[in-house]
Amino acid sequence: MGGANNICSDKTGTLTKNQMTWTNIWAGGSHKIENPDGKLTDLLQTSTFINKNSLDLLKQAVSCNTLDSIDNSGATEKAMLKFITRCQCDYVAMRSRYLPAGYLRFQFDSARKRMSTVITLDDGEPSDTGYNQRLHVKGASEIILETCTHYLDKDGIK
């Protein structure tokens, strides 16, 4: 430490414990997540925190566009998986449901600044494209927003 001019610290544990927690979410509007480590069941059922369409899409996206489990993920993916688990989502079951054998995934790389996974929708599940597939993308917000043409509003409507 003799050559250090600055020492970084954070009180949330991101650097020291390799842990992150979702404290805000944008779902048709910005929402602060109270009690970020507690159960969300009551909040999801009794408020306009996030509508069912947005929550279902979020569960699908996080479940299918992450690589591992809560125990074996990096800090960012772990925070994502922990959040949807708190929303009563079984991400392993979601992966079994939507990721067929030989599914298509574009791994994250620094040039693309994003990761994408193609999922297969259930028969009869609504699709804006008329196809039975959906592409979920995660990555740098400025890159993702640049490619967006639609979004869900606060009521979960496109």
- Cβ-Cβ contacts under 8 Å for 36 (sequence gap 6 or more): 21, 22, 23
Name the phi and psi angles at 96, rounded to 5: -60, -35
At residue 102, what is the residue type? Answer: G
Establish whether 122 is a catalytic residue: no
- Residue 58: how many CB atoms within 10 A of its CB? 20
Of the residues 10, 37, 71, 122, only one is catalytic, namely 10
Catalytically annotated residues: 10
